Structure 1
Amino acid sequence: MFQLMVFVPLVMAIMVLILSLSLILGKKVKLNREKSSPFECGFDSNSNFRLPFSLRFFLITIIFLIFDVEIVMLIPSVYSLTKSILIYWGGVFLLFIMILLLGLFHEWKQGALNWAL
């Protein structure tokens, strides 16, 4: 009980010291219009709200999500290799990779991967 009575005030004192030092020595940030804006999604949210949304930004987001889901599906499939039949696993894995590669080549031919404006 005595250790708790010593430990709690000590932790509180260290916490107050660290917080006060961070307020005193911390970097002062000057807020501007862009930094204080709640959105960082490719358009200015403080201007006219009826401006059309950039389709290019939307396509880049969708491509990112597709390949993000690909990683989420590939990692567990590698872990399941030891518990499955190798020929069936290889066939499903090859089919999955082929579908992704066909999608990638389709996006490439459509020009969605062309980053230059």
Structure 2
Amino acid sequence: MRHLFVIRRGPHEGGRPQETLDVLLTLAAFDQAVDAVLLDAGVWQLHRNQRGETLARKNIAVLWQALEIYGVDPPWVERESLAERGLREADLVLPVRLLARERFSGLLQDYDRVVGD
């Protein structure tokens, strides 16, 4: 079964972003096929210059770097969401697979289970 996590929340919107990433990594640890796609404010989770400490939050971008350790492919990131926020791939903490907005609905069809944050 293939799982896709759709991440739309920013890194400091409560505890939900970290909980979602924890579930993704737990599934990967049990050899489940998992992927993630970040769009809208979710792209900020990969930003290399997060300032979570000012909100007494962890820098969740560091946790995303664990994907490789768990054998998870780089996340999909919606190209337009990056551009709308003035971000570039070089601003992110890890390599990503860029996805055009018009291809998002087609991506969903490739997975057995889609989990939203």
Tell me the TM-score normalized by structure 1: 0.25
Higher normalized contact order (CA 8 Å, seq sep 6+, divided by chain length): 2
Tell me the TM-score normalized by structure 2: 0.25
Higher helix share: 1
- Max radius of gyration: which structure? 1
